[in-house]
Amino acid sequence: MQTHQYDVVIVGAGGAGMRAALEASKEARTAVISKLYPTRSHTGAAQGGMAAALANVEDDNWEWHTFDTVKGGDYLVDQDAAEILAKEAIDSVLDLERMGLPFNRTPEGRIDQRRFGGHTRDHGQAAVRRACYAADRTGHMILQTLYQNCVKQDVEFFNEFYVLDLLTDHDLTTEELEDGAEVNATGVVAYDLASGEIHVFQAKAIIFATGGAGKIFKTTSNAHTLTGDGMALAYRRGLPLEDMEFFQFHPTGLAGLGILLSEAARGEGGILRNSDGERFMERYAPTIKDLAPRDIVARSMANEVREGRGAGPNKDYVLLDLTHLEPAHIDAKLPDITEFARTYLGIEPYTEPVPVFPTAHYAMGGVPTNVSGEVLRDGHNVVKGLYAAGEVACVSVHGSNRLGTNSLLDINVFGKRSGRSAAAYAKTVAQHLDLPENPAARVEAQLAEMRDRPDGDRVADVRKALQETMDANAQVFRTADSLNQALSDIRELQQRYRNVSVQDKGKLFNTDLLEAIELGFLLDIAEVTVVAALNRKESRGGHYREDFPNRDDANYMLHTMAYRRPTAAPDVAEGHVEGYFDHVESFDDYKVVLGSKTVTQTRYEPMERKY
Ligand SMILES: Cc1cc2nc3c(=O)[nH]c(=O)nc-3n(C[C@H](O)[C@H](O)[C@H](O)COP(=O)(O)OP(=O)(O)OC[C@H]3O[C@@H](n4cnc5c(N)ncnc54)[C@H](O)[C@@H]3O)c2cc1C
C-alpha cells in the first residue's frame, strides 16, 4: 500500500474535474485521480453545445436563461443556483475561448450560437440562439482544451486509478450526529489498474467529479464507464443522494442502439415525424415544437409509438428528418452525428429520415451540494473538506429536467467554483486530519472477497438483467406496478451480486474485477432511483407517473434526499423531513430512508409548464 498527501484531491478528470483542477492547482498542491485517461472521459462525447446568453447573434440576456432553466426543470430548480449558472455562463465561455477553444464563428468573427430545446427569448415567446458550439464536437473541444491547460499548468494526474472508498472522521451510516456536529472528509482509497496496488490519498479537501450513472439503463447514450461511482461511494458512507428519481431520457437516440444524435440536429432545423409523415410536435408544443424541452419531446415520441403511429416494421420508433437541409449545411454543422447514422444504421441523412427513440442520458440527481460545491450531509449541514461538481452532483440547477447545453455549462461554472472553494478551504487547514487506523481495510476486504469467490454468477448477466428491468419498468412512463417490479428485480439481483465471481484472479490490469465492483455501484444507484420514484406520486419533468399524471406542488414541491441506514436506525432521516418524503424501504440488512429538502425560490412563482 502506498500513501500520498495533497492539499486538494480531485476524483475524476472529465470537464468538471479538470476545470476544478485549473483553479485549485493555482493555490494548492493538487492531484487528479481518474479511472480513465483524462481525454477519454464522457465530456469528450458531448456534441451539441454549451449555453450562455452572449447575445452574439440575437437579443438575449442571462435573466431569460435563468427563467428557461427554472421552467425547464419544472420549478424544482434551486433558483439562486440557476441564477449563478446563467450569469457566470458568459465568463465560462470566455474563459474557454481564452484557453484556446476553437468555437464556431459568425461571419463577423464572433462566437456563433445555435438553437436548443427550451432556450427561449422573452420568457417563452420564441426559440433563441444561445448554445455556443464547435460543430457537433463541443465536448471533445472542451475536454481537450482543459486537458492541455492542465498539462501546461503542471497538474498532477493519477490515471487509471479507481477510487473505491471515501474516508471520513465519522461513520454516518452508524453514528447519529447532532445538528451542527462537525464531520470531515480526510481522504480516498484508490486501486491502480496497472499494478493492482492500493493507494491511500490523504487530503485537506476532496472534490468528487465522477460523472453520471447512465449504465443503470440498457438503452443509453452513456459510455460503459458511467457507473455512478461517486454517488454510490458517498451514499455508502451515509451521505444522502438528492432527486435520484429524475433521470433524463434524450429524445433522439439511434433507434435500437441508444447512441446519441444531438439535439443540435433539431436546433439546425431537423423535424420529428411519425409514420404518417406528420410533424407531431406541433400538437404537443405548438409554440416551440421540435425544440420543446427533452422530457416533453421524449414523452411525445413514446406516445406516438404507443398510439400506433410509430415508423418501421415494428412501428417502434419515429423519424428525425434532415432531408430538407442543404448537405453542405449538414456537413458543416452536424458532421459526426450524421456519420453515426451512416455507420450504425446504414441510413443516408441527406436523403432518408433517421430512426430515433428516447435513450437514457443524464442524471439530474446526485450528491447534494450548495453553490460553493460543498457536499451536504442532510438538508443543510455540510461535510467539511468535501466538494462535488458536474453530473455526480446536484446543486440543483437542473431540477427535474435539464435543458440541453446546460450540463457543459454546469461542469464549467461549478467545476470552477468547487476548485476555488476547495483550495481556499485547504489553506485554512493547518494540518491534515488523521486517517482511520487501517484506511484501506474496507477496500482490501471487498476486493479479496470478490477475487477469491469460487465460481458464481457472471457480472455481465447480472448487469444485463438490471439494465433490462430498468428499461422496461423505470423509463419514460412509470407506474407503481412497474416500479415495484423493478424494485423486486433489483433486490433479487442484489442477492445474486453476493455470488458473482470474476474469472481473472490476477493483479495486473484486472478490468474484470473492477467491472464487478462497478456493478455493485449500479445496483445501489438503481435501487435509490426506483425507491425515490415510487415515493414521488406526481409527474414532474423527467419523472412521469401514469398513475399520477399531474404535477402536485402542494405535496411534492420538495427535493428528495435518500439515505442508506442500518435496519436498526430510526426511520426518520436527518434534516428536513416533511409529509410525503417520510418514507422507508426496509431490506434484510439496511434500509433506504427518504427525507426532503426545501426548494429555493427567488423570483419565479411556479406556473403551469406550456411551450
Ligand atoms: C453522448 C453525450 C452527448 C452530450 N452532449 C452534451 C451537450 O452537447 N451539451 C451539454 O451541455 N451536455 C451534453 N452531455 C452531458 C455532458 O456531456 C455530461 O453531463 C458532462 O460532460 C459530465 O461531465 P463530468 O465532468 O461531470 O463527468 P465525465 O466527463 O463523465 O467525467 C467523469 C470522470 O470521473 C472519473 N471517474 C469516475 N469514476 C471514478 C472512480 N471510481 N475513480 C476515479 N475516477 C473516476 C472518470 O475517469 C472521468 O474522468 C452529453 C452527454 C453524452 C453522454
> Is 75 domain-assigned?
no
Distance from C-alpha of 116 to C-alpha of 265, rounded to nearest angstrom: 9
Atom of ligand 1 nearest to the CA of 259: 1
Atom of ligand 1 nearest to the CA of 143: 29
- Copy the grid coordinates of residue 332: 458543416
- Atom 2 of ligand 1, nearest CA residue: 46
Torsion over CA of 102, 51, 342 and 106, rounded to 10 degrees?
-50
Quote the ligand 1 centre to 308 CA distance (angstroms). 36
Q: Which residues are annotated as a binding site for FAD?
A: 12-17, 34-49, 229, 391, 407-408
> Is 531 domain-assigned?
yes
> Is 445 domain-assigned?
no
- Atom 14 of ligand 1, nearest CA residue: 46
Mutate which of 19, 41, 344 for ligand 1 pocket (most atoms within 8 A of beta carbon)? 41
Atom of ligand 1 nearest to the CA of 163: 42
Atom of ligand 1 nearest to the CA of 212: 30
Across 366-522, the runs of DSSP E, i.e. the strands, are 367-368, 374-376, 382-388, 393-394, 457-458, 500-501
Query: Of 303, 324, 358, which closes a domain?
Result: 358
Mutate which of 116, 407, 417, 447 for ligand 1 pocket (most atoms within 8 A of beta carbon)? 407
Range of 299's domain? 251-358
- Give ligand 1 pocket residues (Cβ under 6 A): 11-17, 33-36, 41-43, 45-50, 138-139, 162-163, 209-212, 221-222, 229, 260, 262, 362, 390-392, 405-408, 411
Helix (H) or strand (E) holding 564: strand 558-566
> Is 321 domain-assigned?
yes
Q: What are the residue numbers of the active site?
A: 294
Same domain assignment for residues 354 and 454: no
Cβ neighbour number for residue 457 with a 10 Å cutoff: 17
- Copy the grid coordinates of residue 377: 450531509
- Copy the grid coordinates of residue 536: 414521488
**Total domains in the fold of the chain:** 2
Quote the ligand 1 centre to 224 CA distance (angstroms). 11
Quote the ligand 1 centre to 295 CA distance (angstroms). 20
Residue 62 sits at the vertex; the CA angle it makes with 58 and 65, to the nearest 5 degrees, is 85
Query: Of 331, 358, 385, which closes a domain?
Result: 358
Enumerate residues 6+ apart whose C-beta is below 8 A from 491: 527, 587
> Is 293 domain-assigned?
yes
Distance from C-alpha of 213 to C-alpha of 234, rounded to nearest angstrom: 14
- Atom 50 of ligand 1, nearest CA residue: 46
Quote the ligand 1 centre to 138 CA distance (angstroms). 13
Enumerate residues 6+ apart whose C-beta is below 8 A from 498: none
Q: Name the percent of the chain in helix, strand, coil, to the closest 5.
A: 35, 25, 40
* Overall size of the chain counted in residues: 611
> Is 601 domain-assigned?
no
Beta strands 318-321; 241-242: pairing state: unpaired
Q: Hey, is 480 helix, strand or coil?
A: helix
The domain that holds 512 is classified in CATH as 1.20.58.100
> Is 3 domain-assigned?
no
Mutate which of 39, 42, 513 for ligand 1 pocket (most atoms within 8 A of beta carbon)? 42
Atom of ligand 1 nearest to the CA of 393: 26
Beta strands 247-254; 354-363: pairing state: antiparallel
In the prediction, which pLDDT does 575 show? 53
Query: Of 321, 343, 358, which closes a domain?
Result: 358
- Copy the grid coordinates of residue 311: 415508423
Distance from C-alpha of 344 to C-alpha of 411, rounded to nearest angstrom: 30
- Atom 33 of ligand 1, nearest CA residue: 12
- Atom 10 of ligand 1, nearest CA residue: 405
> Is 302 domain-assigned?
yes
Helix (H) or strand (E) holding 17: helix 15-27
Quote the ligand 1 centre to 596 CA distance (angstroms). 27
Q: Which residues are annotated as a binding site?
A: 12-17, 34-49, 229, 250, 262, 361, 391, 402, 407-408
Atom of ligand 1 nearest to the CA of 47: 8
Cβ neighbour number for residue 431 with a 10 Å cutoff: 6
Quote the ligand 1 centre to 305 CA distance (angstroms). 30
Quick one: three-class SS letters along 251-300? EEEECCCCCECCCHHHHCCCEEECCCCCCCHHHHCCCCHHHCCHHHHHHH
Quote the ligand 1 centre to 336 CA distance (angstroms). 18
Q: Which residues are annotated as a binding site for substrate?
A: 250, 262, 361, 402
Enumerate residues 6+ apart whose C-beta is below 8 A from 198: 1, 2, 189, 190, 191, 192, 440, 443, 444
Mutate which of 408, 412, 443, 518 for ligand 1 pocket (most atoms within 8 A of beta carbon)? 408
The domain that holds 296 is classified in CATH as 3.90.700.10
- Atom 38 of ligand 1, nearest CA residue: 210
* pTM exceeds cut of 0.85: yes
Q: CA Rg, the chain, in Å?
A: 23
Residue ranges in the chain whose pLDDT is less than 70? 572-580
Quote the ligand 1 centre to 294 CA distance (angstroms). 19
pLDDT in tens, 435-477: 999 999 999 999 999 999 988 999 999 999 999 999 999 999 9
In the prediction, which pLDDT does 177 show? 85
Torsion over CA of 506, 511, 513 and 516, rounded to 10 degrees?
-160
